[in-house]
Copies of this chain bind each other. A is one copy, B any other.
């Protein structure tokens, strides 16, 4: 099996999901969604304080993550679900997720 780091990353996306009306602590719903997405083959998932960063070679894989996340929240009894997805599809050059943050991390840490 090809290691994840070597795959050609065409799509990087940012996805966030939460139920509305199930209290202010939505952590267990977010956890369930991350766990469900992590089971999707060909998808790389990383979490940030605001969303999951998704990497894939095909847009279908990214959209499957959205679908399974909504499904898992429905199965947990959520009556209303809000989600947000931003996709960056890049066809002009090969890249890896790490390419996008290299250098930037250093800038951010330098601080005021």
Q: Are A31 and B63 in contact (CB under 8 A)?
A: no
Residues of A that sit less than 8 Å from B by CB: 12-14, 16, 18, 20-26, 30-31, 34-35, 37-41, 43, 45-53, 55, 59-60, 63, 66-67, 70, 74, 78-92, 97-98, 100-101, 103-105, 107-112
| B49 with A12: CB separation less than 8 A | yes
A75 to chain B, nearest CB (A): 11
Contact A90 B79, CB 8 Å, known A63-B63, A108-B47: yes
Instruction: State whether A59 and B66 are in contact (beta carbons under 8 Å apart), knowing that A24-B80, A87-B81, A104-B31 are contacts in the complex.
Output: yes
Q: A18-B20, A88-B80, A90-B80 are in contact. Are A60 and B67 (CB under 8 A)?
A: yes
